[in-house]
Chains A and B, each alone.
Chain A
Amino acid sequence: MPYTPRGFTTGNFAPDEQDRSFAYAAMWAGLPASLGLLLSLYFGPIPILTPLCSGVTAGSLIALVFSWSHDEFARAQIGFAANWALAFAGIILMWELVPFAEGSGAELRWTLAIMATIFHLALAWRRWRDR
Chain B
Amino acid sequence: MKNRLKVLRAERDWSQAELAGRLDVSRQAVNAIETGKHDPSLPLAFRIARLFDMKIEEIFDDEG
Judged by DSSP, the binding face of B is helix
Q: Are B32 and A17 in contact (CB under 8 A)?
A: no
A84 to chain B, nearest CB (A): 19
**Count of chain A to chain B residue pairs whose CB atoms are closer than 8 Å in the complex:** 45
**Which residues on A sit within 8 Å (CB–CB) of B20?**
17, 20-21
> A92-131 toward B: CB 8 Å interface, digit per residue (1/0)?
0000000000000000000000000000000000000111
Query: Bound state CA distance, A76 and B38, in angstroms?
Result: 9
The A interface, classified by DSSP as helix, strand, loop or mixed, is: helix
Chain B 41-53 per-residue mask, 1 if CB under 8 angstroms from chain A, else 0: 1001000000000
Chain A interface residues toward B at CB < 8 A: 16-17, 20-21, 23-24, 71-74, 76, 129-131
Residues of B within 8 A of A (CB): 17, 20-21, 24-29, 32-33, 37-38, 40-41, 44
